[in-house]
Amino acid sequence: MISLLVKEKLYINEVVLGTGFGVLMGPYVADVFSPRSWGTEQNTITLEVMRIVLATGLFAVGVELPCAYMWEHARGLLIMVVPTMAFGWVVVASILHGLFPMLDMISALCIASCLTPTDPVTCAAITRGKFAAKHVPVQIRRILSAESAANDGLAYPFLSISLYLTVETSTRVAIGKWFLVGWLYQVIFGTVLGAVLGLSFSKLMKLSHRKGLIDRESYIAQYLSLAIFTIGVASSLGADDLLAAFAAGSAISWDGHFNVQTEGDAFASVIDYVLNCGCFIYIGAWLPFSSYNSAELGITPWRLICFLIAILVLRRIPPLLLLYRFVPEISSWKEALFSGHFGPMGVSAVFVSALALTRLPTPENPPADQQQRLAAMIQPIVSFVVLGSIVIHGLSIPFFNLGRGMHSRTTSLSLTWTWTNRPTPDWVLWARRADPATATPSATNTVVADVERGTVAVSGNVSPCNGEAIRGDSETILATTAREEVSAVETSPFHRPREDEVTGLDSRVEVCFSDIAPRPLKVSLIEFGIQVATEAETVQAEDLTTSPIGSQVKTVRFPSSQ
């Protein structure tokens, strides 16, 4: 009933709301819904719930990317995924080993592998929606979506090497299994399997479409059915089902036919939204709050908080700041910092931790060895980081938007005070001034005085706009009105129209001289979005666009004398 207010005005998505509702319904508040009370099968149920939600989300990411995106942007994705994941894996494990000394380095690497992948569901908070469309560049949104989908599947090799080193007695055997099983079979075979399934279904659906055997609703149904079918086949064969789902989604839309047939339909988005809400309600009720303070395991709240802060700062931001020059989609260090910050941990971290528990022994109380200690500590640590990531990343956009609003109001008040407390006419504040380093005092004073009087007679060869040489043969006046027409005004080379000569002219105008005539000249006026053009034939006013504050932007063209 208030979804529009919450999502489009407050920018709070279903991730935060679902988790909060799950905590309220969970065993620590209302005790209505308690997944951990389901006995020995609760970890298996958690694993499969996360698997279905992740596979559906990854398939949707693959479908929504542009045609052949993975091939055309392979270089940027490779740099963002592999070095960033490897760096974060080692750094997180080192921090874990320092804060929780009861864990050895291999056990710390196993827990770190759960926190290495970026969660595509939580990442959608900044890659979709109204705020993302307005403030996040499209290339950043796409590269973050593709990266979050790719590194979810690549978490398998990081987890498998840690588990093999923990379980196997021989390091050589562990590395051999990691290469053969973890990389060649799970990752490579899983990717190829998903791509083959996606391409096969794409060709079958195009054939059915040409023969008139399939309707639009059947295309939409493939969003869910093909994703579940892919993970079912991949899981049965022991391959990487998450990478297979993402590869199937990318392959089925490789030529754009599937996107055209499903364009404009909201059914897939509704299914994705319902699954995400249910998943995070489940996570909120699943969180083990009582395990966040366990003296026998060395887990204390202050250690968990320090670990969370260290992860947010050191996991992704340093490698992306170092490597962003090699990523074509990231053009500045600010975009690299933004991309490094928005690496949330959520469904994927819970899934990998539940998967790790299936390979570890059931812990005793207290744990008898390192394997049991790892099994007892992995989910309390991972779940606390997931909770912190949901809160911080989920509320980053609302706080950022609130900060922008406060800054805008402060700037408006400052400008209002300036206009009402200066002896100089306030419209002159918006006129460009001569550069003191290049302009002579006489030329500058002449320009300012003539602007106020409405006449211009420039005696020097210095432009007050940019300090460059001018000939005085053309001139431009830029004006914007609040949905009023601007009348045509004829000028001479030595006459500047006053405010009363132009009907509806805003007093805050920008004066600029052009050294080349007759060619179009466009200048942007900050805060008012004024666009300028001069032309040597006619004098006319025409609508260009709508300014950010709703005013119609007008263009006035004045003839220039030769």
Question: Is 257 a domain residue?
Answer: yes
- Residue by residue, pLDDT tens for the chain (562 residues) are 566 666 666 777 888 889 999 999 999 999 999 999 888 889 999 999 999 999 888 998 888 888 889 888 998 899 999 999 999 999 999 999 999 999 999 999 999 999 999 988 888 766 776 777 777 888 998 999 899 888 888 888 899 898 888 888 888 888 998 999 888 898 999 999 999 999 998 898 888 888 888 877 777 777 788 889 999 999 999 899 999 999 999 998 888 888 777 776 666 677 778 888 999 999 999 999 999 999 889 999 999 999 999 999 999 999 999 999 999 999 999 999 999 998 899 999 999 999 999 999 888 888 888 999 999 999 999 999 999 999 998 888 777 666 555 544 554 545 454 445 555 444 444 444 444 444 444 444 444 444 444 444 444 444 434 333 333 333 333 333 333 333 333 444 444 444 444 444 444 444 444 444 444 434 333 333 444 444 333 333 333 333 333 334 434 444 444 3
Quick: pLDDT tens for 395-407: 887 776 665 555 4
| Sign of the CA dihedral running 536, 538, 539, 545 | negative
Residue 392 CA to residue 403 CA, distance in Å, equals: 15
Side chain identity at residue 64, one-letter code: E
Q: What domain count does the chain have? A: 1
Q: What angle do CA 130, 131, 134 make, to 5 degrees?
A: 90
Residue 276 CA to residue 347 CA, distance in Å, equals: 9
**In the numeric block, which tokens belong to residue 217?**
């609703």
Domain, as residue range, for 282? 19-397
Residue 436 CA to residue 444 CA, distance in Å, equals: 9
Strand 541-546, strand 510-513: pairing: unpaired
Say if CB 293 and CB 377 are below 8 A apart: no
Specify burial of residue 548 (Cβ count, 10 A radius: 0-12, 13-18, 19+): exposed
Say if CB 451 and CB 432 are below 8 A apart: no
Strand 552-556, strand 475-478: pairing: unpaired
**In the numeric block, which tokens belong to residue 80?**
């963002």
Quick: pLDDT tens for 433-492: 444 444 444 444 444 444 444 444 444 444 434 333 333 333 333 333 333 333 333 444
Residue 208 CA to residue 324 CA, distance in Å, equals: 44
- Of the candidates 118, 133, 138, 125, the one whose C-alpha atom is nearest the C-alpha of residue 399 is 125
Torsion of CA 140, 149, 157, 182, to 10 degrees: -140
Rg (CA), the chain: 31
For residue 559, the tally of other CB atoms under 10 A from its CB is 17
For residue 266, the tally of other CB atoms under 10 A from its CB is 9
| Sign of the CA dihedral running 450, 456, 458, 463 | positive
- E strands, 370-491, are 475-478
Note the pLDDT of residue 287: 95
In three-state secondary structure terms, 546 is strand
Residue 240 CA to residue 227 CA, distance in Å, equals: 13
Terminal-to-terminal C-alpha distance of the chain: 65
Residues 6+ apart with CB under 8 A from 312: 341, 388, 389, 392
Say if CB 446 and CB 457 are below 8 A apart: yes
Residues 6+ apart with CB under 8 A from 404: none
Write out the H or E segment, with its range, that includes residue 513: strand 510-513
This prediction's pTM: 0.71
Note the pLDDT of residue 14: 83
At residue 86, φ and ψ (nearest 5 deg) are -65, -45
Say if CB 120 and CB 148 are below 8 A apart: yes
Torsion of CA 261, 266, 268, 271, to 10 degrees: -160
Q: What angle do CA 81, 84, 89 make, to 5 degrees?
A: 115
Question: Is 504 a domain residue?
Answer: no
Side chain identity at residue 62, one-letter code: G
Note the pLDDT of residue 364: 87
Note the pLDDT of residue 5: 66
436-to-430, 511, 515 alpha-carbon distances in Å:
17, 17, 19
547-to-462, 482, 526, 531, 554 alpha-carbon distances in Å:
32, 10, 11, 10, 10
At residue 443, φ and ψ (nearest 5 deg) are -65, -45
Longest Cα–Cα distance of the chain, Å, equals 95
Write out the H or E segment, with its range, that includes residue 347: helix 347-357
Question: Is 137 a domain residue?
Answer: yes
Say if CB 273 and CB 10 are below 8 A apart: no
Q: Can you give the CATH number for the domain in which 248 is found?
A: 1.20.1530.20
Question: Is 558 a domain residue?
Answer: no
Question: Is 552 a domain residue?
Answer: no
Residue 393 CA to residue 347 CA, distance in Å, equals: 14
Note the pLDDT of residue 3: 63
Beta-carbon-side half-sphere exposure of residue 391 (alpha carbons within 13 Å) = 11
**In the numeric block, which tokens belong to residue 246?**
């993402």
Question: Is 532 a domain residue?
Answer: no
